[in-house]
Amino acid sequence: MKRIVLGLVVGGLVFGGVFAAASTLSVTSGSTQAGSGSVGQCDADGVTVSYGTPTFTAGTGYTLTQVTVAGVSASCAGKTLYVTVADGSNGALQSQTASIPSSSPPSSYTVTFGSAVSVASILNAHVAIN
């Protein structure tokens, strides 16, 4: 009986120590960490994504090479725009970046991927500004 009680006490102390350590994690930009928290954003109302005109190729179907991100706030000046088109499992099909100028940034950016992407494969678009 004493062994069971001692085991429960030790287990509780270990669990409490791990839980306490995890609760002190802070999330900041610049390094990968575990935890959650609010992240400052430069574009509070979000952006819109539209796709370029697809091209039809016999045997391949419709493909595209460009995505336009519009509605980027001027407060994102000097940051980098990251765009990824993904399949249904959120697997990246193509990714591209664009630099947002420090002064007088436009609100719309068109990125061109290195190779064409099958339109039928694209189910998601992910945009990040950092």
**Tens-place pLDDT, residues 35-70:** 434 456 898 888 999 998 999 988 889 999 999 999
Cα 15 to chain center, whole Å? Answer: 32
Q: Are 125 and 83 in contact (CB under 8 A)?
A: yes
CA 89 to CA 86: how far, in whole Å?
Answer: 8
The predicted pLDDT at position 36 comes to 39
Q: Tell me how crowded residue 21 is: count the other CB atoms within 10 A of its CB.
A: 9
Q: Tell me how crowded residue 69 is: count the other CB atoms within 10 A of its CB.
A: 21
3-state helix, strand, coil in the chain (%, to 5): 20, 40, 40
What type of residue sits at position 76?
C
Which residue, 125, 106, 120, 121, is CA-closest to 50? Answer: 125
Token pair, residue 45, equals 């109302």
Would strands 55-57 and 48-51 be described as parallel, antiparallel, or unpaired? unpaired
Low-confidence ranges of the chain (pLDDT < 50): 16-38
The predicted pLDDT at position 32 comes to 38
Q: Tell me how crowded residue 31 is: count the other CB atoms within 10 A of its CB.
A: 6
